[in-house]
Structure 1
């Protein structure tokens, strides 16, 4: 890098990744090779996602739980569907389909964990961090199609009730309830931090409620002979699937459209940055989620005229604030002075004329 004598950060592009280290690039540093700079950034970003930091280590901690849960769920789905056809229970078959989507949710969660560990590249500079969000979107969308089929079958059975073998229906549903509660308990902690795992958890919770309904329904049918209870329960499970999947679908669409993550206010973030000494104003602020646990921010910050070392100190102060108060760990900050803003406005006016 050429020698610099008291550089002024009039227009500075500052990128910080809290996983590794910060980078400061000012106008008088543009003599370096852009390819070298890009390679350096990708190398730094890749290292930050592959050396045992909290995000990857957190994914590794749930990997075994998800594998065991997936295997158990798949085995139970096979048993439940076979029993459903044997007992002629559409409710049990519906619950089996719901359990299949649970297995699919777990498989997608495992796949997203594997993809998120892949390194970044020149074509995918953020890596595959969004695989989890995309997986949750696919999972919740697929449920909408399944709900339509279940509703159709349930309505047909309501008008044409079929005889049910209630004992098999009761026992397989009871086993299913135990399985769902066990798996839900195992992944509950991780579901608070990852939307993909939360999608799987909500599936398990919804299916546990549906399975409980089947248990009660089998008892009612056994003592009353009202076989119409079975398709009514199936219809209820269908509505439950719709309710549990809609919230996930809505959130994933919001994140895929790069909406502000839930729980973060752009106004509050701007206000907190402006409190930092040396900052005059914040504008052009954008906050979005790269992954479920990785929130990114970019903005322009008007600052006092200062040299490069003061810029670096200010950068560290702002990023510490963002990480501690808002858990924003990836930022791109552009420092500007009032003189720079004035020149930009004049230049824009001349161009327009």
Structure 2
């Protein structure tokens, strides 16, 4: 049963009582959120500027992919064909990101109280996975070229590759000027940078073939480009999976955060601190605290939430106030 709110409680926290044997007091403080509407957002709003930037790059990427595919087929260049496949994959990934933006913009409901912002993380995961699949395809085709070299028309290959270089430079410029905290924008930028490297490789291969006649330069440089893309793609995939597994945000030391909370006046003990990334920019946490003798337990949630937000960039925190001795420390082996 809820107690009547004081004036301070109305602005800082909600107090509830459990009906278990411990009779815990749950002080929930949600700093930085508007409660007047009965709901609050747990994630940053979708940035319209980022969506517009991705839309522009999608149009550029899809258009050039068609040009590059035709140029690669006519010239017989694996570097161009591989890069065209890369561009098609990127166009699909960018389209997925645009769809994710629209879905993420939907308001939370009774079944999905956190909203749909995690869709953006799923889209970023799909982007990275698509890149890894593309790299595998490039490597397979390159091996076939090593076994059976084919003729390459270096002149047309060079012209198409130079056009691709300028298209990718323009796309990278558009995306770099956006918010890099957005996983989808970062994923799109990685795709474009991969395309940029592909264009550079194709240009180098074309010039090399023109000067030496050695057509194996084409698959060799294709493989080198693929290797450079793998690292970025794997980072995007691993980061997305880590977020979906609700891992502790990178750079955050949970023990240090607990110690910082314990140093606040009126707090005797801190435990059960859990923190995870909800979306690219929003960190969520829950924590239990016990008051010192004589301290006002109703004042602790707002105090802890303010500290977490100011010192540790935790946007949304739920603080439970337990009676002295109510916090049970986990066993070393995690079994109790």
TM-score between the two structures when normalised by the length of structure 2:
0.85
1:170-189 map, 5 Å: 170-189=158-177
1:58-85 alpha-carbon deviations (Å, 9 max, x no partner): 6112121111111111101111111111
1:249-285 alpha-carbon deviations (Å, 9 max, x no partner): 1111111111011122212221221121111221111
Compute the displacement of 1:329 (Å).
Answer: 0.7
2:47 is aligned, of 51, 59, 74, to: 59
Tell me if 1:238 matches 2:226: yes
1:87 and 1:165 in contact (8 A); partners too: yes
Match of 2:282 in 1: 294
Match of 2:246 in 1: 258
Secondary structure at the counterpart of residue 278 of structure 2: strand
CA RMSD of aligned residues (A): 2.8
Match of 1:132 in 2: 120
Compute the displacement of 1:205 (Å).
Answer: 1.6
Tell me if 1:272 matches 2:260: yes
1:321 is aligned, of 307, 319, 324, to: 307
1:112 and 1:131 in contact (8 A); partners too: yes
Match of 1:123 in 2: 111
2:59 is aligned, of 45, 62, 71, to: 71
Match of 1:222 in 2: 210
Are the structure 2 counterparts of residues 245 and 2 from structure 1 closer, same or farther at C-alpha, using a change threshold of 3 Å? closer
Tell me if 1:145 matches 2:133: yes
Q: Distance in 2 between matches of 1:267 and 1:168?
A: 60
Are the structure 2 counterparts of residues 286 and 78 from structure 1 closer, same or farther at C-alpha, using a change threshold of 3 Å? same
1:298 and 1:332 in contact (8 A); partners too: yes
Q: Distance in 1 between matches of 2:147 and 2:16?
A: 79
Match of 2:11 in 1: none
1:191 and 1:201 in contact (8 A); partners too: no
For structure 1, list consecutive stretches of 5 or more residues without a partner in the other structure. Answer: 23-39, 50-54, 345-351
1:94 and 1:237 in contact (8 A); partners too: no
2:145 and 2:219 in contact (8 A); partners too: yes
2:40 is aligned, of 45, 60, 68, to: 45
Compute the displacement of 1:16 (Å).
Answer: 3.7
Secondary structure at the counterpart of residue 127 of structure 1: coil
Compute the displacement of 1:4 (Å).
Answer: 7.8
Compute the displacement of 1:145 (Å).
Answer: 2.4
1:155 and 1:235 in contact (8 A); partners too: no
1:77 and 1:96 in contact (8 A); partners too: yes
Q: Distance in 2 between matches of 1:227 and 1:168?
A: 14
Match of 2:9 in 1: none
Compute the displacement of 1:90 (Å).
Answer: 0.8
1:206-258 alpha-carbon deviations (Å, 9 max, x no partner): 22122111111100101111111111112222222322211111111111111
1:147 and 1:239 in contact (8 A); partners too: yes
Are the structure 2 counterparts of residues 299 and 79 from structure 1 closer, same or farther at C-alpha, using a change threshold of 3 Å? same
Compute the displacement of 1:318 (Å).
Answer: 1.9
Are the structure 2 counterparts of residues 82 and 322 from structure 1 closer, same or farther at C-alpha, using a change threshold of 3 Å? same
Are the structure 2 counterparts of residues 168 and 262 from structure 1 closer, same or farther at C-alpha, using a change threshold of 3 Å? same
Q: Distance in 1 between matches of 2:327 and 2:308?
A: 24
Instruction: Report which of the two has the higher share of helix.
Output: 1
1:137 and 1:252 in contact (8 A); partners too: yes
Q: Distance in 2 between matches of 1:134 and 1:165?
A: 41
Match of 1:14 in 2: 27
Match of 1:37 in 2: none
- Number of aligned residue pairs: 317
TM-score between the two structures when normalised by the length of structure 1:
0.81
2:106 and 2:115 in contact (8 A); partners too: yes
Are the structure 2 counterparts of residues 340 and 118 from structure 1 closer, same or farther at C-alpha, using a change threshold of 3 Å? same
